[in-house]
């Protein structure tokens, strides 16, 4: 009889990701960006077959894909080692070398939007205005380009165009919770919502005709809903909503004259279909807890990319009301039931505010008794019920993980999301501490067995919690987190800078608050072992942020391990780097739980 070894943490390293995808008009070829060879490249499957083959060998991340309706080419936006300066390339459907289409060194291109005949490309770029951006129309046939809009007082992005290409919707990003949209036609600009002064957001814009626009907004409400704007009479009206659910992305299905709407409810996504004639909203069952991408084919078939807490990213197709899984990504040698489904907990913070959190609990037979507090990134984001190999392999190794959606998180209404603005370091910090106290009271954690880890804003929070509440933690991991709010404000990408005053604070007006909330001010209290991880090409949290904290702590004789990834940005685009980081994080924690 053959005795097989039990799966170990290495199995969780061998999972693959899907960044974005597209499908051709005939639905005979599915194209997606995945890291099957250890680095992200374009792969394809000839439907209905489900065997992937490579299209490109660029070995770089892809943020957007668009398939020419005539089937002549595929457009891809790719950066270089995580620098987020996406350039636009063309790829033949049969695969091969990338043809640079719209490139500019040091600039980013985004928002691919092709005309129906595939001869005009609309997009937004930082190449001529890094702060407020410009939008362009590029004629592929004539190899000619023109500027169609220039941003003025906020970073301005192309959002949608009418079928006849005579009207275009743009969004102005004043802050994450203050995003206005306007339609531009015949040189005139008309805003989609009645009041520009009241802070609210607009997203998910979609034309269903040359004059009728549907979009999601929280104008006048706490949670976003579906709204309609008629360009002919410039009328706005609220159309559909679900109580305490955030409506977000909108997709038009011409075949059924309906819209598909992605909604967030706490840690999970939901999908609705809205019949435009009957104005009726129906829920659609989905095979995932997250919708990372959705495409509606001309036939009405749906293509969805998403994850669950125990299943990595996959692509699914819905036809005749039934979902079929097209990709087969999983954790090799580990069944879904062997992994941790998060428990959902709700607790009251220091001021009575209700906080929702997930608890990934290690199985009793594997548990080492330690809990890792994970403050999520963003901060105006949320920890969802989706797969993270980092979480699952740590749980498999015996660590439980606690992930609070502290104030400022998305999915809980506009007011909740705004609570972090100008208050990065007080309310959210105490929400995390109250979460630990909740675990102690419930007997889910021991006071002397808590570890701390976070990335991006979560890395910042890990540093701040270490500096102000070191007694709670045995060891700390910071993954590309800012340590000094003053230098962070100055070093972010140029098109972020207009939002920094509302989002983080003003260096002059809010000097006292920013000083109080900067982790670099609490070096004397940072006494626990620390591991700092940084991508050298990170454009969001630059390497100097991690350099600061590491050098300052080492100057005080503290124990700090520092890992810089020379070919990464704000994340891990290469499997070898991801595996190395996770292995070293595990070894670091294992050393300090003894």
- For 23-66, the DSSP string reads E-TTS-EEEEEE-TTSB-EEEEEETT----EE-----S-EEEEE
Instruction: For residues 77 and 102, give the distance between their C-alpha atoms in angstroms, rounded to a whole number.
Output: 9
Of 473, 371, 410, the closest CA to residue 201 belongs to 410
Under DSSP, the state recorded for 6 is P
pLDDT more than 90, % of the chain: 93
pTM of the model: 0.95
Q: Give the model's pLDDT for residue 10.
A: 75
DSSP 89-115: EEE-TT----EEEE--TT--EEEEEE-
Whether the CA torsion 374, 377, 381, 384 is positive or negative: it is negative
Instruction: Tell which wins on pLDDT, 573 or 128.
Output: 128
Report how far residue 543's alpha carbon sits from residue 506's, in angstroms, rounded to the nearest whole number: 22
- Which tokens belong to 205? 């814009």
State percent of the chain over pLDDT 70: 100
If pLDDT is split at 50, 70 and 90, which confidence band does 3 have? Answer: confident
Which pLDDT belongs to residue 346? 98
Strands 560-565, 530-535: pairing kind: parallel
Residue 377, pLDDT > 80, answer: yes
Residue 462 phi/psi, 5° resolution? -60, -40
Confidence of residue 463 (pLDDT cuts 50, 70, 90): very high
- Whether 547 contacts 536, CB under 8 Å: no
Q: What is the pLDDT of residue 8?
A: 72
Residue with tokens 């940005």: 569
Determine which helix (DSSP H) or strand (DSSP E) holds 464, and give its type and residue range.
helix 457-468
Residue 518: band (very low, low, confident or very high) from pLDDT cuts 50, 70, 90: very high
Contact by Cβ (8 Å): 255, 275: no
Per-residue model confidence (pLDDT) at position 570: 93
DSSP 9: T
The 10 Å Cβ neighbour count of residue 512 is 9
pLDDT of 556 over the 80 cut? yes
Report how far residue 546's alpha carbon sits from residue 277's, in angstroms, rounded to the nearest whole number: 55
CA distance 269 to 276: 22
Give me the residues paired with residue 574 across strands: 39
Radius of gyration of the chain (CA): 24
Name residues whose C-beta falls within 8 Å of residue 569's C-beta, 6 or more positions apart in sequence: 79, 81, 82, 83, 84, 535, 537, 538, 539, 540
CA distance 82 to 90: 20
Q: DSSP readout, 476-523? A: EEEES--S-HHHHHHHS-GGGGGGHHHHT--TTTTHHHHHHT-GGGGG
Q: Residue 408: pLDDT band by 50, 70, 90 thresholds?
A: very high
The two tokens of residue 431 are 């929400």
- Tell me how crowded residue 292 is: count the other CB atoms within 10 A of its CB: 20
d(CA 374, CA 385): 14
Q: Please answer whether residues 156 and 175 qualify as being in contact, where contact means their C-beta atoms are separated by less than 8 angstroms.
A: no
Place of tokens 């087969």: 328
**Residue for token digits 């595939």?**
118
Q: What is the largest CA-CA distance in the chain?
A: 78
In this prediction, residue 122 carries a pLDDT of 98
Q: Is residue 69's pLDDT more than 80?
A: yes
Is residue 304 within 8 A of residue 318, CB to CB? The reply is yes
Give the model's pLDDT for residue 310. Answer: 96
Using pLDDT thresholds of 50, 70 and 90, give the confidence band for residue 455.
Answer: very high
Give residue limits of the domains in the chain: 336-592
pLDDT of residue 448 exceeding 90, the answer is yes
Instruction: State the CATH architecture for 336-592.
Output: 3-Layer(aba) Sandwich (3.40)
How far is Cα 229 from Cα 390, in angstroms, rounded to an integer? 43
């Amino acid at each position: 009889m053959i005795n097989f070894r039990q799966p170990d943490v290495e199995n969780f390293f061998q999972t693959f990701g899907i960044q974005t995808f597209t499908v051709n008009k005939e639905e005979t070829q599915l194209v997606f960006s995945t890291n099957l060879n250890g680095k992200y490249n374009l792969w394809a499957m000839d439907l209905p077959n489900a065997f992937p083959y490579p299209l490109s060998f660029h070995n770089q991340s892809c943020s957007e894909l668009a398939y020419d309706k005539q089937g002549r080419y595929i457009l891809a936006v790719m950066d270089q080692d995580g620098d987020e300066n996406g350039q636009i390339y063309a790829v033949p459907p049969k695969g091969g070398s990338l043809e640079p289409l719209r490139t500019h060194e040091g600039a980013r291109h985004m928002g691919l939007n092709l005309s129906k005949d595939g001869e005009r490309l609309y997009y937004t770029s930082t190449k001529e205005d890094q702060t407020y951006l410009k939008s362009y129309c590029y004629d592929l046939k004539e190899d000619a380009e023109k500027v169609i809009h220039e941003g003025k007082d906020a970073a301005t992005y192309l959002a949608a165009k009418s079928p006849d290409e005579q009207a275009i919707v743009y969004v102005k990003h004043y802050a994450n919770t203050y995003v206005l949209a306007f339609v531009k036609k015949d040189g005139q600009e008309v805003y989609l919502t009645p009041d520009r002064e009241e802070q609210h957001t607009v997203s998910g814009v979609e034309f269903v005709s040359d004059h009728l626009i549907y979009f999601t907004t929280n104008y006048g409400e706490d949670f976003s809903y579906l709204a309609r704007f008629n360009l002919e009479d410039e009328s706005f009206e609220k159309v559909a909503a679900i109580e305490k659910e955030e409506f977000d992305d909108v997709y038009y299905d011409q075949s059924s004259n309906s819209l598909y709407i992605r909604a967030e409810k706490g840690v999970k996504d939901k999908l609705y279909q809205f019949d435009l004639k009957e104005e009726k909203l129906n829920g659609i069952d989905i095979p995932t807890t997250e919708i990372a991408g959705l495409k509606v084919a001309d036939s009405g078939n749906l293509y969805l990319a998403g994850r669950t807490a125990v299943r990595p990213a996959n692509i699914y197709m819905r036809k005749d009301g039934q979902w079929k899984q097209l990709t087969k990504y999983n954790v090799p040698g580990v069944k879904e039931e062997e992994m941790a489904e998060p428990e959902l907990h709700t607790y009251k913070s220091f001021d009575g505010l209700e906080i929702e959190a997930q608890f990934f609990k290690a199985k009793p037979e594997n548990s080492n008794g330690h809990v890792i507090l994970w403050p999520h990134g963003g901060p105006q984001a949320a920890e969802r019920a989706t797969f993270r190999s980092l979480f699952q392999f740590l749980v498999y190794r015996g660590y439980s993980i606690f992930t609070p959606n502290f104030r400022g998180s998305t999915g809980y209404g506009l007011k909740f999301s705004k609570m972090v603005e100008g208050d990065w370091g007080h309310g959210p910090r105490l929400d995390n501490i109250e979460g630990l106290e909740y675990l102690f009271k419930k007997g889910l954690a021991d006071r002397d067995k808590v570890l701390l880890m976070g990335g991006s804003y979560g890395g910042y929070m890990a540093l701040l919690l270490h500096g102000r509440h070191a007694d709670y933690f045995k060891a700390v991991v910071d993954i590309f987190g800012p340590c000094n709010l003053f230098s962070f404000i100055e070093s972010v990408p140029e098109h972020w800078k207009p939002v920094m005053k509302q989002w983080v604070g003003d260096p002059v007006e809010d000097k006292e608050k920013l000083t109080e909330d900067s982790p670099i001010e609490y070096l004397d209290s940072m006494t626990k072992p620390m591991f700092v991880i940084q991508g050298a090409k990170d454009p969001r949290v630059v390497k100097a942020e991690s350099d600061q904290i590491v050098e300052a702590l080492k100057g005080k004789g503290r124990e700090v391990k520092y890992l810089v990834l020379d070919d990464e940005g704000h994340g891990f685009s290469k499997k070898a780097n991801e595996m190395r980081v996770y292995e070293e994080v595990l070894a670091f924690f294992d050393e300090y739980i003894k």
